[in-house]
A and B are shown apart, each in its own frame.
Chain A
Amino acid sequence: MGSGHGTELNLTLKVWRQKNTKATGSFETHQLSGISTDMSFLEMFDVLNEKLISEGKEAIAFDHDCREGICGMCSMYINGRPHGPKQGVTTCQLHMRSFKNGDTIVVEPWRSAAFPVIKDLAVDRSAFDRIIASGGYISVNTGNAQDANNILIPKTDADEAFGAAACIGCGACVAACKNSSAMLFVSAKVSQLALLPQGQVERKERVKKMVAAMDEEGFGNCTNTGACEAECPKGISLENIARMNRELMGATFK
């Protein structure tokens, strides 16, 4: 079926297995054959898990949901890169045609003290929710809004805000960073709201609160390596970090 240019691969998989947060983990090696190049990376994992279950072994736990690159739930660290070798895609949108027959693929969870491993490849990213709860919003109760066209917003500003708002909160930026910094994630939300007229009232307080919450969660500092931008599946720009630093300066020193 399908487009018909699919061929089949034989692969060696080295996958991180870890029973729970406290357990010590280790790599487990699996051989897979007949993997269609039309499969997504996660469908390859489905095949592996079905094989494990048929052998009476527990399936590998991994996070995934929408499988169309937008929910941000999938989170594998593949051959040393978050979301694998292809730029601009999440693991669920990575297809096996990006690999060669005979490849060995190493799969690990996101590595960061702020993202403890739950089991195997699944990690706890609730730190991101807490950062948003600290100030990543505009305080407008339901029913308080004026007509949507009352405030004009230049298209360029709306587009730039949208570019920042496209962040899917997957955490690849943290996983890519040698310091486990969450600056790209936090700055994307700070930027989106700072660029819009509706976000002006809370602008200064917001950046201060969010940066404080980020520090409290144990994320590292930014040393401008740019790894986060390079690995972000949604192309969130490093400019957001520069903007957040300016916002923070402006909010701290009056």
Chain B
Amino acid sequence: MSKLDSKIPEGAIDQKWTKYRSTVPLVNPANKRSLEVLVVGSGLAGASAAATLAEMGYKVKVFCFQDSPRRAHSIAAQGGVNAAKNYQNDGDSTYRLFYDTIKGGDYRAREANVHRLAEVSSNIIDQCVAQGVPLAREYGGLLSNRSFGGTQVQRTFYAAGQTGQQLLLGAYSALQRQVGSGNVTLCSRHEMLDVVTIDGVTRGIIARNLVTGEMEKHFGHAVLLCTGGYGNVFYLSTNAMGSNVTAAWKAHKKGAFFGNPCYTQIHPTCIPVSGDHQSKLTLMSESLRNDGRIWVPKKKDDNRKPTDIPEEERDYYLERRYPAFGNLVPRDVASRAAKERCDAGYGVGNSKMAVYLDFAFNTARYGRTEATKRNIQNPSHEEIMRLGKEVVKEKYGNLFDMYQQITGENPYEVPMRIYPAVHYTMGGLWVDYNLMTTVKGLYALGEANFSDHGANRLGASALMQGLADGYFVIPYTIGVYLSTEVTRMSAEKDKADSIDKLKTKHPAFDAALKEQTDLINKFLNIKGTKSVESFHKRLGLIMWNKCGMARNKQGLTEAIAEIQALRKEFWSDVRVLGSADEFNPDLEKAGRVADFIELGELMCKDALHREESCGGHFREEHQTEEGEAKRDDVNFAYVAAWEYKGVSDWELNKEELKYENIKIAQRSYK
């Protein structure tokens, strides 16, 4: 029998969630006050879950490694958040959002979860607006929408190019309100180092106070991991410098299965690498693809300035290959198409590893509209471009400024140079319909779980999922488990050494604390010759070259051996200076890199076992004649959930994916 029970409720797809949430066990208000929930991570998923659970009456503690919960990396999301409001009257519906997400994910996501996500999407917008999130509006005072990749409707809500910031500050303010009223204890500059389980059930965590170095034990009836994705395994990504897999990885080693680790999203429009000093990559929002046209010269090694290359000598390759979706194809498709052109010798810039994202065409279009609006007769080209730039500035000003700051080039005058970069990880801890992992009482929300995006996430869906999980899913589903905790607590109330009386005095907490303290001392005592950073860079290079945008059997096999060797070298030659009892960022990073190295190996193993191409996972051996991803639905329509057995040892568990409402088909954006 499979070890995986997805706990998908019975019934028609559009009734499952409504019926389920009306029938799940509840926890009465008095009992909620005696139940403690630990929330790790304070991004959209963590902050929204913590605030909501505290509003409901649970006792909540929030942990984040940053100095404030407002800094979580959700803050950097630019483009927008999807919701099936159909405010634009363009035929949108819950079903369409559901369908687009399943199709965008290349038929590798769980239907029931995705439908629920589409159902609650509208509530998210309502909630955020009520919190005072200043989403973009039209002159009539109504909310504005824009389009994103992989869809043909306008359902993306936004706040300039800072949607993630505004949504996170909304969730953060709701969280701080609960902190202010004493319902949430905030533990900033704390890093979770382990999950504490007793008899296989989650009872709390071990965390390190990053300022003092003190190791702390925290008891909880449930632990929510809202710790984001693991894109930094590639060293260079659009993730924040501190984004890491440690909490999820330690949970994995305590029994939580890891789902589809090889599903990585490479975002097509990022600022290209400028040199060896590069520490991170910066995204240029997908919303720019609304108004930017992507092209390369038709001639190989064309060294002319982009503005000197005439229209007929440009190859708008996305519009050429995908006439129906054009520049708005999903991210995996757009990324691979850029790589194909660059590999074939048509890349631009000094490195030749870039393509142009050009706004001239739409700037002129906006300019002409403005001229008409303002009754300017026969405007000159300069006049049109000046007017158009005003419109473009209003829409994307902050992104254009950021581009100029980083590259020293003015994107209002010359096209942006862009190239794909690691951006998001669809894989994550395996969770059931309740968002519980395979460890009882341990949940994973947002990017940290695997559940909603299949093998490729559509733009503006990460914010939607983070907030859906935190505001509208976990508050209901956590009761399914916590109601059983109430029963247990009541049965054990006269027991002298009950879990609830001992709490962190239970020997399991001391054992876990000792294990983590020893690990920290181990890092400090290796006293090797190479910096933590240097190991991270080397790991990233292996991953990018052999487990990146295109993968093959030989490369993956080599990568696994190289990563195993790197792990050995790390544990014998890493140099971590300073001490354990102080603020020591280098020591923090040592722990994170150690976990990334182990994860990297699993990602390669997962990519090697999946003998098909789907979404962001592209195996060169499995492609159509036109170079598109070729799925194998007969053999691989399942979630690969890996169980940790020991160093370099995992067991594969499969959750079959059943498509009862959407006909599984070859994805086409032509």
Nearest chain B CB to A192 CB, angstrom units = 7
Nearest chain A CB to B267 CB, angstrom units = 13
Is B455's beta carbon under 8 Å from chain A?
A: no
Q: From B527, which residue of chain A is reached at the shortest CB distance?
A: A56
CA distance A56 to B576 in the complex (A): 9
- CB-defined contacts of A192 to chain B, threshold 8 Å: 132, 134
- Interface pair A20/B241, CB less than 8 Å apart: no
Task: Name, among A1, A72, A125, the residue most crowded by chain B CB atoms within 10 Å (CB to CB).
Answer: A1
Is B591's beta carbon under 8 Å from chain A?
A: no
With A119-B583, A196-B132 already in contact, the answer to whether A95 and B408 are too (CB < 8 A) is: yes
Residue among B51, B126, B353, B406 making CB contact with A145, cutoff 8 Å: B126
With A57-B577, A67-B241 already in contact, the answer to whether A141 and B582 are too (CB < 8 A) is: no
With A36-B275, A155-B141 already in contact, the answer to whether A141 and B126 are too (CB < 8 A) is: no
Q: From A120, which residue of chain B is reached at the shortest CB distance?
A: B583
A200-241 residues at the B interface, CB under 8 angstroms: none
- Interface pair B67/A125, CB less than 8 Å apart: yes
- Interface pair B274/A148, CB less than 8 Å apart: no
Is B464's beta carbon under 8 Å from chain A?
A: no
Is B125's beta carbon under 8 Å from chain A?
A: yes
- Interface pair B173/A137, CB less than 8 Å apart: yes
Is B477's beta carbon under 8 Å from chain A?
A: no
Nearest chain A CB to B181 CB, angstrom units = 9
Task: Name, among B66, B130, B407, B472, the residue most crowded by chain A CB atoms within 10 Å (CB to CB).
Answer: B130
- Interface pair A153/B277, CB less than 8 Å apart: no
Is B372's beta carbon under 8 Å from chain A?
A: no
Nearest chain B CB to A243 CB, angstrom units = 15
- Interface pair B277/A71, CB less than 8 Å apart: no
- CB-defined contacts of A19 to chain B, threshold 8 Å: 582
- Interface pair A158/B136, CB less than 8 Å apart: yes
Stretch among A39-47, A101-109, A176-184 lining the B interface: A39-47
Residue among B140, B165, B273 making CB contact with A1, cutoff 8 Å: B273
Stretch among B68-76, B94-102, B109-117, B431-439 lining the A interface: B68-76
A70-87 residues at the B interface, CB under 8 angstroms: 70-73
- Interface pair B471/A142, CB less than 8 Å apart: yes
- Interface pair A1/B274, CB less than 8 Å apart: yes
Chain B interface, number of residues (Cβ within 8 angstroms) = 92
Stretch among B278-286, B479-487, B545-553 lining the A interface: B278-286
Is A3's beta carbon under 8 Å from chain B?
A: yes
Is B172's beta carbon under 8 Å from chain A?
A: yes
Please report the number of residue pairs spanning A and B whose Cβ atoms sit closer than 8 angstroms: 251
Nearest chain A CB to B372 CB, angstrom units = 21
Is A173's beta carbon under 8 Å from chain B?
A: no
CA distance A63 to B211 in the complex (A): 12
Task: Name, among A66, A88, A89, the residue most crowded by chain B CB atoms within 10 Å (CB to CB).
Answer: A66
- CB-defined contacts of B583 to chain A, threshold 8 Å: 20, 61, 118-119, 122
CA distance A68 to B139 in the complex (A): 31
- Interface pair B70/A72, CB less than 8 Å apart: yes
Q: Which residues of A contact B (CB under 8 A)?
A: 1-6, 19-20, 36, 38-40, 42-43, 46-47, 49-50, 53-54, 56-59, 61, 63-73, 88-89, 93, 95, 97, 118-119, 122, 124-126, 128-129, 132-149, 151-155, 158-159, 161-162, 165-166, 168-169, 192-193, 196, 198-199
28 A-B pairs within 8 Å (CB atoms) are namely A1-B350, A1-B351, A2-B273, A4-B349, A19-B582, A38-B275, A49-B586, A61-B583, A64-B241, A68-B280, A69-B402, A71-B76, A72-B70, A73-B66, A126-B68, A129-B186, A133-B179, A140-B131, A141-B52, A144-B130, A148-B126, A149-B143, A151-B129, A152-B140, A154-B141, A158-B134, A162-B136, A165-B134
Given contacts A68-B402, A136-B173, 17 further A-B contacts (CB under 8 A): A1-B275, A2-B275, A2-B350, A4-B349, A20-B583, A39-B277, A49-B586, A73-B67, A88-B401, A95-B406, A129-B68, A129-B188, A132-B172, A140-B127, A143-B127, A149-B142, A151-B129
Q: Which residues of B contact A (CB under 8 A)?
A: 48, 51-52, 55, 66-71, 73, 75-76, 85, 87, 123, 125-143, 159-160, 162, 164-166, 169, 172-174, 176-177, 179-180, 186, 188, 211, 238, 240-242, 272-275, 277-280, 282-283, 349-351, 353, 401-402, 405-409, 417, 471-472, 475, 531, 533-534, 575, 577-578, 582-586
Q: Which 5 A-B pairs have the closest CB atoms?
A: A152-B141, A2-B274, A133-B180, A145-B130, A137-B173
